[in-house]
Structures are given as C-alpha cells and as structure tokens.
Amino acid sequence: MRQSQTTNRAAYSPAEFAATCGRHPTWAYRLLYANKIRAITELGRLLIPVSELERVLSLAAPYDPKPKPKPQSQSDGNRERNVKRKTGFGVCRRLDTDIGPKNTRYG
C-alpha cells in the first residue's frame, strides 16, 4: 500500500482530488454536483479543501458484502405506470398504460 505524501497544499482541483483517491476526474465532479463534498467556488475555479479529502477518507469502514435494503415504493399504482421495458431500440415506457389524452389526429 502506498503511503500518502504530506504536502503543504490547502486545496485540490477536482482532477487532483480524484487522482489522490485513484479515481477518474468525473467521479469528483459527480460528488460535487451531488453535494457530497464541498468546494470553494469564489476564486474563479473549483477548489476542494484538504479538509474535504480528509473527511471523505475518514468515512472508511469495514466492508459489508450484504446488500442494503431498498426503500419502500410510494404506491402500487405508480409502480405500474412507471414500468419500463427493453426493446431493440433501448428502453421505453409501456404502451398499454394511459398516460395522457389520446391523439385524435393519428388515431
């Protein structure tokens, strides 16, 4: 395992933050957009403070391979309406559900 080097940096760019964790830069941007990490934005570019890196690293816990339980759905009526199925052209909504007024021009 590689030892972390001590630096006198106060903040990292998203790409540097991701590289420190061994991840792709897109990962850091996804964390930023999901508000899972905070950034300094007032200086004309995104900077992630070292304290955020330390906070993320402090979240380490023993790995539990058991899947987490899924939250309960809102209702059975919404489940039927939001069912999607795969077709040869991608994913589309079920055609047998009534989701709006019928198109009278094309039948």
pTM given for the model: 0.55
pLDDT band at 28 (very low <50, low <70, confident <90, very high): very high
Two tokens, residue 57: 């690293």
d(CA 45, CA 92): 39
Contact predicate 84/91, CB 8 Å: yes
Q: Which of 21, 22, 18 is nearest to 46 (CA)?
A: 18
Domain count, the chain: 1
Q: Does any domain span residue 66?
A: no
Which tens digits make up the pLDDT trace of 48-77? 999 999 998 898 888 888 887 888 765 555
Which tens digits make up the pLDDT trace of 37-51? 999 999 889 999 999
Domain that holds residue 42: 11-58
d(CA 46, CA 38): 10
Question: Would the pLDDT of 79 be above 70?
Answer: no
Q: Does any domain span residue 25?
A: yes
Q: Does any domain span residue 45?
A: yes
Q: Does any domain span residue 96?
A: no
Close Cβ partners of 11 (under 8 Å, ≥ 6 residues apart): 40, 47, 48, 49, 50
